[in-house]
Structure 1
Amino acid sequence: MAESAQDNNPIIVVIAGRPYPLRVAARDEEGLRELVKEINQRFNDFQIKYSDRDKQDCLVMTLLTYADELRGVRTWSDTGQSGELARRLDALNTLVEGML
């Protein structure tokens, strides 16, 4: 069932020193705040490591690390013929069938 706008709480998160107003379901707020904390930590790490770069460069590098991780997870969980998960499940299935 789709949530209505009334089910969402208005919150403000701060990423790289800038506030962003959002509306989130109460059940998702804690997870979102944890994600924002992680994003800010990675951003700060990039600012320290690449002190000669501006904020936008560090934000883009942070975004790219998350995009790369997401792509990896999607590849891993792809249930198509070429997915790593499918290959591993097939191997396990073969092992189990061999034991029966």
Structure 2
Amino acid sequence: MAQQGQENNPIIVVIAGRPYPLRVAARDEEGLRVLVSEINDRFNDFQVKYSDRDKQDCLVMTLLTYADELRSARNMANTSQGGELAKRLEALNVLVEGML
């Protein structure tokens, strides 16, 4: 979150009804609060959809959805290891060269 040597502000975020004290750079606070809101919204959706599950199960499902999205985003951006973005760019390059 915050780089070493930068001013960190203490904040408390609440996820699934539990408070978590954090220290974040002022420039990162707004983005973190938006992320916490998204996490809580997704957690609440899981609680409604899977009312027979306990809180921890819903938190894990929330975590897994974010982890999957992060993995997908990394795969798209990973041009050095033949990621999806690299494949798409290569396909576009072939099309452009074919038109020249």
Partner in structure 1 of residue 85 of structure 2:
85
What value does the CA root-mean-square deviation take over the aligned residues?
1.4
Figure out how many residues of one structure are paired with residues of the other and give that number.
98
Q: 1:38 and 1:18 mapped to 2: Cα distance? A: 15
TM-score by length of 2: 0.90
Percent sequence identity over aligned pairs? 81
- The Cα of 1:90 is off from its aligned counterpart by 0.8
Q: 1:27 and 1:65 mapped to 2: Cα distance? A: 26
Mapping of residues 16-95 of structure 1, within 5 Å: 16-95=16-95
CA contact (8 A) 1:10 1:24 kept: yes
Q: 1:43 and 1:86 mapped to 2: Cα distance? A: 34
1:5-51 CA distance string (max 9 Å, x none): x5111100000000000011111100000000000000000001111
Partner in structure 1 of residue 4 of structure 2:
3
SS at match of 2:79: coil
Q: 2:91 and 2:48 mapped to 1: Cα distance? A: 44
- The Cα of 1:78 is off from its aligned counterpart by 1.4
- The Cα of 1:99 is off from its aligned counterpart by 3.1
- The Cα of 1:86 is off from its aligned counterpart by 0.6
Give the letter for the 2:94 counterpart. T
- The Cα of 1:81 is off from its aligned counterpart by 4.7
Q: 2:67 and 2:26 mapped to 1: Cα distance? A: 26
SS at match of 1:76: helix
- The Cα of 1:58 is off from its aligned counterpart by 0.5
TM-score by length of 1: 0.90
